[in-house]
Structure 1
Amino acid sequence: MAKDPKAFKTALHQKMMSLEATELKAAKEHYDRLVADSHVSGREQFDNSDIAEARENADLAAAFDHPVKDHHAKIDVLEHMDFAVTDTVQPGAVVSFGGRRVVVSVATAQFELDGVTYMGISQQSPIYKAMSGLSAGDSFTFNGRQIHIDEVL
């Protein structure tokens, strides 16, 4: 995966923090916009459609509060997770299998670092539970398929 595993893990950690910070910023902006649109005050006149639209925006803002909290929680996990180099599948590990690379940390969309694609998985994910504690060269069964672990870092 990398010539300098410690530097790679530091860069990976920074990349994941940056991605979550960007996601949090976008979620907060969306939430703030909906909250601002949920108020009818400040207008001299408003009708039932204005009130209905404001109420709909308030409901949407409440729904979009969850992504904001979710990204805050992910950032908290990433800030406190040990990304040290390891040889066993555990939180903070990067695991390669079947041409895929996953980072045991928080669930993320796919992202690239140095031209290689990764995806974050949580400790609650079924695939993590199937491979937890294993090392490179070990195999595990997931969804009825035998999967060989190529590398753990």
Structure 2
Amino acid sequence: MTDTTTDADTKLRIRDALIAQARTELEATNDNLDDELRAAELDQDEPVRPDDTSQSDEAGELKGLLGAAAEAQEGRIAEIEALDVSPADAVRPGAIVGFGGQRFLVGAATPDVEIDGVEYTGLTTDAPIYAAIEGLTVGDTFTFRDREQQIDFLA
């Protein structure tokens, strides 16, 4: 029989690990953004060559992309922080759901994180599979991409 329980402390540790991971990624993006800002600055005391202006323009464009990435990461952190990770009796945002040998924290897109030897991945409510599992409980089956699966874990 599959273990279908995870205590509240473990759910909080999973959420906190995902937040810490997202913050680390945000810090790296911000560091890259700072580097690009410095690279985009032209030295006003030196003659400006056309190549310098071109590189400054490219760095400025990259700055915009990195800034957008940082904003998206900040939004992802806010989504994870806002999740209600109280016990769940049905698949919903904040629930941890397991099927097909994998476990997911529903409500935010995140990379994998390992807690107590178990790997968890974030699953957004925009993901196509979420529509197939929303509201299901342990033991319920669903079909996704012509493959039948069963909810074998829910916390």
**TM-score band w.r.t. shorter chain:** over 0.9
Equivalent in 98, 103, 106 of residue 104 of structure 1: 106
Equivalence map 1:70-149=2 (5 Å): 70-149=72-151
Instruction: Compute the TM-score of the two structures, normalised by the length of structure 1.
Output: 0.93
Aligned-residue offset at 1:44 = 1.5
- Partner Cα separation in structure 2 for residue 149 and residue 4 of structure 1: 15
Please state whether the residue corresponding to 2:152 is helix, strand or coil. Answer: strand
Q: Secondary structure at the match of 1:25?
A: helix
Gaps of 5+ in 2: none
CA contact (8 A) 2:108 2:125 kept: yes
Amino acid at match of 2:68: H
Q: C-alpha offsets along residues 40-76 of structure 1, whole Å, 9 cap, x if unaligned? A: 1344222111111111100111111121011110111
Contact 2:4 2:153 in 1 (8 A): no
What is residue 6 of structure 1 aligned with on the other side? 8
User: Tell me, which stretches of 5 or more residues in structure 1 are unaligned?
Assistant: none
Q: Aligned in 2, Cα 1:150/1:80: closer, same or farther, shift over 3 Å?
A: same
Tell me which moved more, 59-68 or 129-138: 59-68
One-letter amino acid of the structure 1 residue matched with residue 120 of structure 2: Y
1:105 shift after superposition: 2.0
Detail structure 1 runs of 4+ shifted over 6 Å in the superposition: none
- Matched pairs, number: 153
RMSD: 1.5
Normalised by the length of structure 2, the TM-score is 0.92
* Identity fraction in percent: 30
